[in-house]
Chains A and B, each alone.
Chain A
Amino acid sequence: MNKALKNPITYIAFIIPTLLLYALFFCYPVIVSFIYGFFRWDGITEKVFIGFDNFVRLWDDEVFRKALLNNFYFMVFSLIVNIPLVFLISIIISKVRRMRDFYKSAVFVPVVISTATVAILFGVLYNYDSGLINQFIRLVAPESWAREWLSDPKLALLSILIANAWQNVGFFIVLCLAAILNIPKEIVEASKIDGVNGWQETWSITLPLVKPVLFVMLLLSVSGTMKVLDIVQIMTNGGPFQSTEVMATYMLKVGFRSMELGYGSAIGVAMFIIILVLTGILQRLTKSEEVQY
């Protein structure tokens, strides 16, 4: 009976292509990036082993610290702005009786547009003279309120955060909405009989029951914001005056513009470790919380 499914030749033929690709384009770069991290190397001359110097340098590198801080701003923004907004919108969509599918499809539209296109779109929206944002401000407020959104070091990061939120919030709304609609009807009805009102229901019934999906959102936000790259690179490429530099843009600059491949790899390794530690902590924190209906 089991003979057909115990065929070593087919077995090997079926797993080898995957393992080959995986070993070559994934495992090899992972190992090599750790190794590069210990060398000084411009990609042309001989590598020089310098031990932990790259990592020590990272510790003292003002630009890297600035970049890391900006990644944290991304994370904080998505935790205190994006996720509450997602929860609010999802709750409301789950409570309306009609047009639920319409709202769901509409909020998801920005998600299917490529990040490169979103970055260009917002570049146009943020333009000083003719961009939608400033023109709207001129319509409702004095002219002096118009801003150079992307070339003002104080505003550039915020402007990118908003563009990023515009693109990502819909994805999370759909996740969260699915979880809310998955809550068994009996629970909600039972609570209504017990005289629970709308806000109490949201706060003490819905919120605890969708904790697992909130956790998934948290995890995706943390790892997503730590490795954010495309949108920053196209909108400002870290400028003005490195006010929007993030780890990934800095890594590419160090690696490809300054040709410091060793130091660039060290930044990549640091990024990887930071993501692993943060998601590890999150997983530890929420491990004990299981939901039971």
Chain B
Amino acid sequence: MTARMKNSQWWMHSFLFVYVVALLFPLLWLFMSSFKTNRQITENTWSFPTSFNFDNYVAAWSTANIGKYALNSVFVTVTACLLTLLFAAMTSFAISRMKYEKMNKAVYQFILLGLLVPAGALFIPLYRLIQGIELFGHKLYDTHLSLILVYSTYALPITVFIIYAFMLSIPSELEEAGIMDGLGASGLFFRIIVPISVPALVTVFILNFIGNWNEYILSQLFITSESLRTLPTGMATFNDGYRTNFASLSAAVIISIIPVLLVYVFLQRQIIEGMTAGSVKG
């Protein structure tokens, strides 16, 4: 019996091991290719690179402008995430803790409608809208602000959904203690409810961060200036221009993956939890 169980464990491990290797081998192969020349990639596909030659990385970094695009991505992504978090937390607090039953329900239902409509179906009117808006005499089109506003908006429904559920579960005794101490509604929000809600806030921050960081189509539609591009758009443009230059392409892909993988190694539990939060609760 125990022998049979040991045997089956061994089989399962082998199976999973083969699966994981097959799954991740393309990344390793790309990593090896990134140190080769184009000719070596074709001729010595399977061998290790003969030397760690960083030429491809230098070429990719300067031609693909990855550093600049990554900075743009960080700025747009973080700002949009913080904006979503602030607005969604305020709204969730109002509709979960404040005493306006009918209004609360109406607002919640209204915002949840957003989960039904795929953003993908709205690209054309959204594009026209962004082109038409002027803020203080400046066009919104072709600015980072256009992306930030739209990303924030489209993250709101799922964010409110998750934070609302969390805030609803906070016992009212804590609030009452705050009220005794003379806190008003906004005091309760900032001093009591927000600090308690940090786990939920972190979860949705990660969820939205990954979504915004990887977003491609809107960024391609709204941004025309080369210097304002975000990382996915920059990568796609580089891909169009260098389709046959695998050495540079591999290096560019590796450069764009490494920071993500590093963050993933350190925060994997939170990232997995955050990214799956919407579906588990949804």
**Chain A: residues with CB nearer than 8 A to chain B?**
1-2, 4-7, 10-11, 13-15, 17-19, 21-22, 24-26, 28-30, 32-33, 36, 43, 89, 92-93, 95-99, 103-117, 119-121, 123-125, 127, 129-130, 132, 135, 139, 166, 170-171, 174-175, 178, 198, 213, 216, 220, 223, 226-227, 229-230, 233-234, 248, 251-252, 255-256, 261, 264-265, 268-269, 271-272, 275-276
Contact = CB atoms under 8 A, between A and B. Distances in A.
Nearest to B97: A5
B272 A174 contact: yes
B49 interface: no
Contacts of B161: none
Contacts of A14: 90-91, 93-94, 98, 185-186, 189
Nearest to B94: A14
A2 B185 CA distance: 10
A117 B256 contact: yes
B162 interface: no
B20 interface: yes
Classify the interface of chain A: helix, strand, loop or mixed.
Answer: helix
B184 to A, nearest CB: 5
Interface of B: 8-9, 12-13, 15-16, 19-20, 23-27, 29-30, 33, 38, 41-42, 45-46, 87-88, 90-91, 93-95, 97-100, 103, 107, 110-111, 114, 116-118, 120-129, 149-150, 152-154, 156, 160, 175-176, 178-179, 183-186, 188-189, 210, 213-214, 216-217, 221, 231-233, 235-236, 239, 243, 246, 249-250, 252-253, 256-257, 260-261, 264, 268, 271-272, 275-276, 279-280, 282
Contacts of A108: 268, 271-272
Contacts of A15: 90-91, 94-95, 107
A216 B271 CA distance: 20
A248 B217 CA distance: 11
Contact of B98 (A5, A36, A112, A248): A5
B98 A29 contact: no
Contacts of B9: 96-97
Nearest to B98: A5
B148 to A, nearest CB: 11
Contact of A33 (B116, B125, B256): B125
A120 B160 contact: no
Contact of B271 (A18, A112, A175, A252): A112
B88 A18 contact: yes
A233 B235 CA distance: 13
Given A92-B12, A121-B30, A251-B123, A19 B261 contact: no
A261 B235 contact: no
A22 B153 contact: yes
A130 B116 CA distance: 43
Interface of B is mostly: helix
B239 A255 contact: no
B67 to A, nearest CB: 16
B276 A105 contact: no
Nearest to A170: B23
A282 B97 CA distance: 34
B24 A127 contact: no
A220 B279 contact: yes
A23 B13 CA distance: 52
Give the 5 A-B CB pairs with smallest separation, nearest first: A114-B214, A116-B232, A29-B125, A14-B94, A130-B42
Contacts of A226: 118
Contacts of A223: 118
A11 B250 contact: no
Contacts of B25: 132
Given A2-B99, A114-B214, A171-B275, A11 B185 contact: yes
28 contacts: A1-B179, A11-B98, A14-B93, A14-B94, A15-B90, A18-B87, A19-B91, A19-B107, A21-B153, A25-B154, A26-B153, A26-B154, A30-B117, A33-B124, A43-B128, A96-B16, A103-B20, A108-B271, A114-B260, A116-B214, A119-B239, A124-B246, A130-B38, A175-B280, A256-B124, A261-B128, A272-B117, A276-B116
B125 to A, nearest CB: 4
B98 A7 contact: yes
